[in-house]
């Protein structure tokens, strides 16, 4: 896996092999109407819960994607350190204790997953349209969880740990 | 700089993601991109509806419009700057209206638009609350950094 820069010093993203980096890939999907249409075809329970048609769900998600994009650009350009305010910790019940803080930046259904390497430094590992309470419930979010774990393991092997985040997680589990 | 950050930076390549440049281009073109997306949604929805009735597909639409299937595939991705000519051809083949320009403006029209806007805002707030409940999260304001609404 390669780590490449978005906003230098504060926001980085993973690129796997020759594929587009994860941020480019997920936004490419979220702004692709046909992709979203195919995605929501299989999400009947979610559509029923919100009483939404497929067309309405696609429209809602597209708007969120553009808003999320705007939010990252605006924050990153004004003061990249403030990107830390856009991310929050994933719920412990989603996956237990970890050395590094798994963070998420979200705007309703859309989730961007990142590892907090330092106070103001984040590494984006992927993203997903969250259609269930817990990541393990659906294959596409479970895959994001697997990516987070693999990245964490790789960072640990290379001497990258985050003691502050570990403390936060400990406090939450006491 | 902490040891943690030093070790991390040893792993970072010199490459820069193209995301920022693409996102900034989107920002400059967001208004028409959103419209293109809405049109694509309408087209896909209509193809989905017509398929069991008359076998409509993207390929069939392309053939009846006398354009390539690859072009229609681009259109339904919602990022094409469509000409009025293309929009009209799609409308004629699918039997739908994609864009409509009001012929006259009146005070009655503006009152109707205000009432419609309030209904839309109310529905969106309700949808936002449902989203939070579905994802197991509380309804809080967010995003002190950018000042936008959400959680």
Query: Over 60: is that where the pLDDT of A84 sits?
Result: yes
pLDDT in tens, A26-78: 999 999 999 999 999 888 888 888 888 899 999 999 998 998 888 888 888 88
Q: Which ipTM score applies to this complex?
A: 0.79
pLDDT in tens, A88-122: 665 543 433 332 444 555 447 788 888 888 888 88
Give the torsion sign (CA, A91, A165, B140, B143): negative
Residue A69 phi, psi dihedral angles, 5° rounding: -60, -45
| Residues within 8 A of B (CB atoms), A 143-172 only | 155, 158-163
Comparing CB atoms, the residue among B17, B26, B30 nearest residue A5 is B17
Query: What are the structure tokens assigned to B7, written together?
Result: 């070790």
Nearest Cα residue in chain A from B73: A34
pLDDT at position A74, please?
A: 86
pLDDT at position B49, please?
A: 95
pLDDT in tens, B79-117: 999 999 999 999 999 999 999 888 876 655 555 555 555
Interface touch B33/A66, C-beta < 8 Å? yes
Comparing CB atoms, the residue among B13, B42, B134 nearest residue A49 is B134
- Cross-strand partners of A12: A5, A123
Query: Over 50: is that where the pLDDT of B74 sits?
Result: yes
Q: What is the DSSP string of B19-39?
A: HHHHHHHHHHTHHHHHHHHHH
Query: Over 80: is that where the pLDDT of B130 sits?
Result: no
Considering only the C-alpha atoms of chain A, give the largest distance between any 2 of them, rounded to a whole number of Å: 48
Strands of A101-107's sheet, edge to edge? A87-89, A101-107, A110-118, A121-129, A11-15, A2-7, B12-16
pTM as predicted: 0.76
- Count CB pairs under 8 A between chains A and B: 167
CB of A70 within 8 Å of a chain B CB? The answer is yes
Comparing CB atoms, the residue among A63, A67, A109 nearest residue B148 is A67
């Amino acid at each position: 896996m390669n780590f490449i820069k978005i906003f230098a010093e504060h926001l980085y993203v993973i690129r796997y092999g020759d594929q587009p980096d994860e941020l480019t890939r997920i936004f490419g999907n979220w702004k692709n109407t046909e992709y979203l249409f195919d995605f929501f075809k299989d999400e009947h329970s979610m559509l029923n819960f919100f009483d939404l048609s497929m067309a309405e769900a696609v429209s809602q998600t597209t708007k969120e994607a553009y808003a999320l994009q705007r939010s990252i650009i605006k924050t990153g350009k004004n003061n990249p350190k403030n990107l830390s305010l856009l991310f929050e910790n994933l719920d412990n019940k989603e996956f237990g204790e970890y050395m590094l803080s798994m963070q998420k930046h979200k705007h309703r259904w859309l989730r961007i997953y990142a590892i907090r390497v330092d106070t103001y430094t984040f590494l984006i590992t992927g993203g997903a349209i969250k259609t269930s309470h817990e990541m393990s419930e659906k294959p596409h979010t479970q895959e994001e969880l697997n990516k987070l774990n693999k990245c964490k393991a790789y960072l640990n092997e290379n001497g990258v740990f985050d003691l502050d985040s570990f403390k936060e997680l400990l406090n939450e589990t006491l | 700089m902490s040891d943690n950050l030093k070790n991390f930076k040893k792993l970072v390549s010199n490459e820069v993601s193209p995301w920022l440049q693409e996102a900034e281009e989107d920002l400059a073109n967001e208004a028409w991109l959103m419209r293109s997306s809405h049109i694509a949604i309408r087209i896909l929805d209509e193809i989905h509806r017509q398929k069991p009735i008359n076998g409509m597909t993207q390929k069939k639409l392309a053939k009846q419009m006398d354009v390539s299937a690859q072009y229609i595939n681009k259109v339904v991705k919602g990022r094409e700057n469509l000409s009025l000519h293309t929009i009209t051809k799609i409308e004629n083949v699918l039997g739908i209206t994609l864009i409509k320009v009001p012929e006259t403006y009146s005070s009655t029209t503006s009152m109707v638009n205000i009432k419609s806007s309030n209904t839309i805002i109310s529905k969106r707030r309700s949808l936002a609350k449902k989203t939070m409940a579905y994802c197991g999260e509380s309804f809080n304001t967010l995003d002190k950094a950018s000042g936008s609404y959400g959680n």
